[in-house]
Amino acid sequence: MRVTSNMSADTSLYNIQQGRAKLDRLQELTSSGTAVNRPSDDPINTRLLLDIVDKVKSTDQYSSNITKSDIWQQFTSTALTGMSDTLQQAKELAGTLVDGITDTALRAGVVSQLQALKQQMIDMGNTQTGDQYIFGGANNATPPFTNSPVQLPPPAAQNPDFAFYTGDESNINVEIGNNAAPMTMNIPGNQILTADTATSQNYGSTNILQAFDDMIYAVQANDVTGIRASSQALGEGAKQIFNAITDVGSRMTRLDSFTKMNENTRNTLMTVYSNTQTVDYAKLGVELSQQQVAFEASLSATAKLSQLSLLDYL
C-alpha cells in the first residue's frame, strides 16, 4: 500500500490521542480513588452501588430509630423501678398498720407519709424524655397523671368528675428493621397505675393510685379491714409493676438483637460497596507506568520519523 507523509502524520496523531486518553483515564482513577465516577463508566455496577447506598441509608435510619427507642425504654425502666421501690416502701408502711393505730398524731403522720408516696408514684408516672411524657400514650404533650384532691371519698368511682389518668391508651409504633414488625415503644400509663380503667390489662388489673387513696381513707377512719384490703391491693400492684418491668426488659433485648443485625447488614453492604468502588492502587500504579512508557515511546517515534525527508538529501 502506498504511504504518504500525511498518512504517517495522521496515524501518529491518532495513536498519541489514544495514549493520552488512556493516561487521562488512569489519572482520573488514581486521583479520585473510585472506580465508578459516572454512570456510563459501568452501568451495571452503578445500579448495584446505588442499591447498596439506598439500603445503607435505610439501615442507618433504623439504627437511629433503635437508639431513640432504646433511650425511651431506659427512661421507662428507670421510672418503673422507682415505682417499684416506692410501692415497696408503701407495703412496709402498711405492714405496720395491720392492727390499726389508735394514736391520732401517729395516724396523721402515716397519712402524710402515704400521701407523699402517692405523689411520688404520680411524679414518676409523669416522667419525660425530651418533651414527651413517656406514659401518656398519644397525648404525650401534657402530664398524664394528676393527683386526686386531698379528701377523696372512696371509691374513686363515686367521684366521676375526677380521673387520675388523662392520657390515652394508644401505642407508639416505630420501625426498627426491614420487613420487621414495628415495635411498640411505649407503655400507656393507665395500664400500669390505674389498670382497672384500661382496655387491655396486660400487666394486671389493680388501680394502684386508687389503692393508695383507699389506704389513706382507711387509716384516717382507722378501718382495719380497709387497711388490710388496701394492703393486699398494693401487693397486687407491686406484681403489676414487676410484669411491666419484665416487658420493658424483653423490648430492650429485641432492640439489642436488631442493633446487631443492622450492624452486620451494614458491614456486609459496605464491604461489597468498597470492593466494587475502591480502586486497587497497586494495579493502577503498574498500569500507569506501563502506559507512560508506551506514550513516551510513541512521542519519541513521532519526533524521529517526522524529521526524515527527502529534501534534506537533495
Partner 1 sequence: MGLSTAMEIGKNGLNIYRVAQEVTGENIANVNTPGYSRQRVILESAPPTTANGFPLGTGVRIATVERYYDGLLQQQLTNAQTTQGYDTTKSTVLQQIEPTFNEVAQDGLGAAISGYFGAWQDLTLNPAGSAERQTVLSRAQILTDNFHSVSTALNDSISIQNDTLVPLTNDINATLKNIAQLNSQIRTTELVSGNANEIRDQRDQLVRDLSQQIGITYTENSDGTTDIKYADGGEALVTGSAAGTFSLDKTTDPNKFAVQLTPAGGTVAATVAPVTGQLGATVALRDTIIPGYLQQVNDLATTITSQINTQHKLGSDLTGAGGIDFFDGTATDAATFKLNPLLTNTNQIAASSNALLTGDNSNALKLAQMQNLKLMSGNTSTFNSYFDSLVSKVGLDVSSSKNTEAQDIAFTRQLTTLRESNSGVSLDEELTNLIKYQRSYQASAKLITTATEMMDTVINMIR
Residue 31 within binding range of partner 1, rule CB under 8 A: no
Site for partner 1 (CB under 8 A): which residue of 12, 15, 30, 46? Answer: 46
x/- contact string, 260-279, with partner 1 (CB under 8 A)?
Answer: --------------------
Among 74, 88, 178, 246, binds partner 1 (CB under 8 A): 178
Question: Is residue 105 packed enough to be buried (19+ CB in 10 Å), middle (13-18) or exposed (0-12)?
Answer: exposed
Give CA angle at 83 (206, 75), nearest 5°.
120
Under rule CB under 8 A, residue 4 binds partner 1: yes
Residue 168 identity (one-letter amino acid): D
294 burial via Cβ count (<10 Å: 0-12, 13-18, 19+): middle
Least gap, CB of 12 to partner 1 (angstroms)? 12
90 touches partner 1 (CB under 8 A): no
Give min distance, CB of 250 to partner 1, in A: 20
Contact 240, 179 (CB under 8 A): no
The Cα 132–Cα 120 span in angstroms is: 19
CB of 43 to partner 1, least distance (A): 4
User: Cα–Cα distances in Å, from 197 out to 155, 207, 246, 305?
Assistant: 13, 8, 22, 101
* Cα–Cα dist 153/216, whole Å: 10
Alpha-carbon torsion, ordered 224, 227, 233, 238, to 10 deg: -130
C-alpha cell at 256: 439489642
Applying CB under 8 A, among 37, 63, 128, 243 the residue interacting with partner 1 is: 37
| Closest distance of CB 145 from partner 1, Å | 16
Does residue 306 belong to the site contacting partner 1 (CB under 8 A)? no
Residue 185 binds partner 1, judged by CB under 8 A: yes
Residue from 64, 200, 289, 306 touching partner 1 (CB under 8 A): that is 64
Stretch that binds partner 1, among 79-87, 126-134, 148-156, 198-206 (CB under 8 A): 126-134
**Interatomic CA distance for residues 169 and 162, integer angstroms:** 18
Contact 295, 23 (CB under 8 A): yes
- Check residue 137 for interaction with partner 1 (CB under 8 A): yes
Number of residues that bind partner 1 (CB under 8 A): 57
List contacts with partner 1 (CB under 8 A): 1-7, 10-11, 14, 34, 36-44, 46-47, 49-51, 53-54, 57-58, 61, 64-65, 68-69, 130-132, 136-141, 168, 170, 172-175, 178-179, 182, 185, 309-311, 314
